[in-house]
Amino acid sequence: MSTISGVMGILTGMADANLYLTYLPESYKEPYSTAIAPQMKELGYKARFWYAGPNSWEKIKDFALAQGFDEFYGMGDIESQSGNIWGCDDKYLFKAVDAGLNKEEPSFNIVLNTSNHAPYTVNLEEEGFDEASVISGLPEHLKQDKELIKKLGHFWYADKVMTEFVQRMRSEHPDSLFIIVGDHADRLNLDLNPSLYERYGIPFILYGQGVTKQTLPENAAGSHINVTPTLLELIAPSGFVYHSLGDSLTRGNTVGFNYGFWMTHDYVSKIGGHTMEQIPRGYAAIPPNEELVQQDIDARRAMSWWRGKYGKNIN
């Protein structure tokens, strides 16, 4: 899994079928019917994409605009005083988003940050990182691991500035809805021998007015293609027709998958690898039927692969 795979899943609603949609001609003819921006615009929202990095990364600007976004802002559009090859520091990104919002206009904003990505160059001391407190909580054999401490500091920083932004927006716009989702976890593991879930699971945080623990079923599980239907089920009026290859988490979707793995609330496995592991929090004694899970994955992938590769014609 890579960042662009997750971004493509959210922007297009297409399952990961080992295609780089940002480089395929079909992506630039018209937005896919499952794309998120046109459907949000149909509901009256202006669609904006904010990225801390360069517009040229994986053709992200051209791709986002081709998939229906009204506006795109990248590193070159953001005033910043610090950053690295991946982009400006997150605080400048969120400051730009705040300044760029029209308070009188409903808008849908995707914000892609970079500060929790190596190389770790944020001035943590200036940002208030309590290094001593973190060190005190580490095992003895890790207390002198400067690279680990720096990495943890950048995770802290990314969480800090995002939380401050959410709190500020919630105060100014009490009816806002926030979805916070990771792109991938692999390559950012702290444990030397993580379980499959620890290695590949990502967070999905839903926060806003009216959101409670009952909003999603306890056994819900999903991936990036489930973001759009979940969002639309929460905000669209009754009777609104939308298009999606994924099912809404609010309706009890129970399987999430990317190119290499699938996951339920209780189990995780490599696709085709027969390496199913029970997730530590899992309580279901009987594992899911791998054959049925694979059939579902194959069907969603096949539709995504054909649409991205050959368009809408079936012959």
Contact 120, 83 (CB under 8 A): no
| 133 within domain boundaries | yes
For 141-165, what is the mean pLDDT? 96
In whole numbers, what is the pLDDT of the chain averaged over residues?
A: 94
Structural domain tally of the chain?
1
pLDDT attached to residue 301: 97
Indicate the pLDDT class of residue 15, thresholds 50, 70 and 90.
very high
- The pLDDT assigned to 25 comes to 98
Cβ 6 vs Cβ 36: under 8 Å? no
- Cβ distance 16 to 2 under 8 Å? no
pLDDT digits (tens, 9 = 90+) for 171-214: 999 999 999 999 877 666 677 788 888 888 999 999 999 999 99
CB 228 within 8 A of CB 9: no
Q: Answer yes or no: are the C-beta atoms of 72 and 49 closer than 8 Å.
A: yes
What is the residue range of 18's domain? 3-310
- Which has the higher per-residue pLDDT, 275 or 121? 121
In the predicted model, what is the mean pLDDT of residues 111-140? 96
- Judge whether 182 and 1 are in contact, CB under 8 Å: no
Is residue 231 a part of any domain in this protein?
yes
Tell me: pLDDT of 22 over 70. yes
pLDDT over 80 at 27, yes or no:
yes
Q: What is the pLDDT of residues 242-271, one digit of tens each?
A: 999 999 999 999 999 999 999 999 999 999
Residue 72 lies in a domain: yes
> Does residue 155 surpass a pLDDT of 70?
yes
Predicted confidence band of residue 51 (pLDDT cuts 50, 70, 90) = very high
Residue 99: other Cβ atoms inside 10 A: 9
DSSP per-residue string spanning the chain: --HHHHHHHHHH-----S--GGG-GGGGTS--TT-HHHHHHHTTPEEEEEESS-TTGGGHHHHHHHTT-SEEE-GGGS--S-EETTEE-HHHHHHHHHHH--TTS-EEEEEE--TTSSS----HHHHT--HHHHHHTS-GGGTT-HHHHHHHHHHHHHHHHHHHHHHHHHHH-TT-EEEEE-S--TT--SSSS--HHHHH---EEEEETT--TTSS-TT----GGGHHHHHHHHHSPTT-----SSPPGGGT---EE-SSEEE-SSEEEETTT---EE-TT---SSPP-HHHHHHHHHHHHHHHHHHHHHTT---
Report yes or no on 120 lying in a domain.
yes
* 315 part of a folded domain: no
> Is the pTM value of this prediction over 0.85?
yes
- Is 253 part of any domain? yes
Q: Residue 184 has what pLDDT?
A: 76
Strand partners, 257: 262
CATH number of the domain bearing residue 224: 3.40.720.10
What's the order of all strands across the beta sheet hosting 261-263? 256-257, 261-263, 267-270, 277-278
Q: What was the pLDDT predicted at 60?
A: 98
Residue 169 in domain:
yes
Residue 232 lies in a domain: yes
For residue 28, the model assigns a pLDDT of 98
